[in-house]
Chains A and B, each alone.
Chain A
Amino acid sequence: QKEVEQNSGPLSVPEGAIASLNCTYSDRGSQSFFWYRQYSGKSPELIMSIYSNGDKEDGRFTAQLNKASQYVSLLIRDSQPSDSATYLCAVKRGYGNKLVFGAGTILRVKS
């Protein structure tokens, strides 16, 4: 079992729809969770972080965390073609701030 798992996609959604990206993790001791967006040929860009169970909203983005189920998700409302990218889920483990990344989900928003 991989430490952080994501569906590789591609996930295709029409413009204006809600895109739902999911991530599961295996280490129950994980404390912090992050979503990065990476455009082709570019570096990862931090878009959301979440540390407590529940929802966290920032503009069109909502991160959801359920530690009991070891599950974290990212919702993108009113999806735009510019949201088309690879979304990486990252989980922080213990001391040293080591991030473990999932393989990423490719999102395609079609106009």
Chain B
Amino acid sequence: DTEVTQTPKHLVMGMTNKKSLKCEQHMGHRAMYWYKQKAKKPPELMFVYSYEKLSINESVPSRFSPECPNSSLLNLHLHALQPEDSALYLCASSQGVLAGGTNEQYFGPGTRLTVT
């Protein structure tokens, strides 16, 4: 069983809606990630939080807004999305982000987002 949980499992939203994806990890990890995965493609990194601070933003459009309220929680706020933003959104966590460390990333089950 994964110790990274994500809600909701499925989300359908219109282009004018505002919604949020939620992620929680119970492993005491200090780094959390958002990935986007399109069908038949590998995951693509969007954001990295380390010790609750944003450390990497992979030039993601501002209609995606991440938030890390504490080291266990990660949110992704969505606003004015486009149909091409429809994808599986994956949250992951790891012990940390130090170079040279192991820092295996563990994924949650994902939220399948459809933008209509």
Contact = CB atoms under 8 A, between A and B. Distances in A.
Interface residues of A, number: 23
A98 interface: yes
B42 A97 contact: no
A21 interface: no
Given A31-B99, A97-B31, A103-B42, A46 B48 contact: no
Instruction: Assign chain B's interface to a size class.
Output: 20 to 34
A45 B99 contact: no
B40 to A, nearest CB: 8
Nearest to B100: A31
B83 interface: no
Interface in B39-81: 41-45, 48, 50, 55-56
A45 B43 CA distance: 12
A32 B95 CA distance: 14
A96 B48 contact: yes
B53 to A, nearest CB: 12
Interface of B: 2, 31, 33, 41-45, 48, 50, 55-56, 88, 90, 94, 96-110
